[in-house]
Amino acid sequence: MYLEFYGLNEKPFNILPDPEFFYLSQWHQQALTHIDYGLMNGDSLILLTGDAGTGKTSIIYKLVVEHSEEIIVGVIFNSAVGGDYIVEMILTELEGELPPNPTPASCLDALQQHLLDIYTNSDKRVLLILDEAQNLSDEALEQVRMISNLQAGKDNLISILMVGQTGFRDRLRKARYSQIVQRIVVSAHLSRLREQEAKEYIYYRLRQGGAEDPFTIFTEEAIMKINEYSHGIPRNINVLCEGSLIFGFADDIKPVSADVVDSFARERIGDGLLPVAESPTPCDEEEIGRYINDLEKRIASLESSMGIVKRTLVKIIKKLKILSLK
């Protein structure tokens, strides 16, 4: 294959999640920070959303690897199940004992007892990750809400990270989901990579793949083409880079040129395997708007607090001057 031709030790653009090739963009770092805060705080429900291919599963794997020693982690990858089975699946995933003739109610009781046993006899916390959460039925979501209510005194017995595509966030805005939304303290959204981030992403993965000089494998124009065709989605970048390396190797072209990227991308588009054009989802713009509004509120709050502090200091200084005069 192309590895020796381009001076690589292993394939740098495998689409399967690999913690060693995980690139921390601004959005990924922000998401991990928010999730870590939620776990540290013992929040019962945490939300992570993003378009397909933006790296949600990579974050799941990173969380599992980083927190395996201090947290008991269970992952449900298939969330397309009815409300009658979701609690049973969760209990099984967390290695709890199923009751005889299990029902949703008996499984919920067994799960509560299992979590209480962990809380009492272990210093570990419990994290449940629900991947593809947009596939959860209304009945399953209600069961998830009930599980998030399980407590021991003031402490939550479990933290649940719901990971879903952008549309899941839109779905939760409906009034019928207000009870579950009210329990979501921490949330994060993965946006697409900007042009500079996409370039850094490519160079990072090439280095991880063993390239001594990653800047000599793709031309600048080729990377611009990859960014253009990928729409900033990491999975698309992987597919385009992998295919372009194969095409380049087949034609004995080094470094990979923009023409090579064009040839591969057009073939994928012709086969219906790559979108021709795609605009950012509305959620991206709304998310940025909410983020800006939140920042403005925090700044206003800080300014107000600083004003109070300033007025208090002025009063103290005046009193001290009066006392010194006496």
Q: What is the pLDDT along the chain (326 residues), one digit of tens a residue?
A: 899 999 999 999 998 888 889 998 988 999 999 999 999 999 999 999 999 999 999 999 888 888 888 899 999 998 888 888 999 999 999 999 999 989 999 999 999 999 999 999 998 999 999 999 999 999 999 999 999 999 998 899 999 999 999 999 999 999 899 999 999 989 999 999 999 999 999 999 999 999 999 999 999 999 999 999 999 999 999 999 999 999 999 999 999 999 999 999 999 998 888 876 444 444 444 555 554 455 444 445 445 545 554 555 555 555 555 555 55
We report the CATH number of the domain holding residue 166 as: 3.40.50.300
Structural domain span for residue 169: 26-190
Rg of the Cα atoms in the chain: 25
Please answer whether residues 239 and 206 qualify as being in contact, where contact means their C-beta atoms are separated by less than 8 angstroms. no
Looking at residue 299, what is its pLDDT?
46
Is residue 17, in this structure, part of any structural domain at all?
no
Phi, psi of 162 (to 5 degrees): -95, 120
Please tell me the predicted confidence (pLDDT) of residue 226.
97
Query: Per the domain annotation, does 44 fall within a domain?
Result: yes
Q: How many independent structural domains does the chain possess?
A: 1
Do the domain assignments include residue 1? no
Supply the pLDDT for residue 82: 82
Is residue 114 in a domain? yes
**Tokens found for residue 234:** 């990491």
pLDDT of residue 241: 97
- Asked if the structure places residue 75 within a domain, the reply is yes
Residue 224 lies in a domain: no
pTM of the model: 0.80
- The answer to whether residue 130 is domain-embedded is yes
Tokens matching residue 168: 């899941």
3-class secondary structure, 190 = strand
109 within a domain of the structure (yes/no)? yes
Contact assessment for residue 10 and residue 3, using Cβ atoms and an 8 Å cutoff: yes
From CA 309, how far away is CA 179, in angstroms rounded?
A: 38
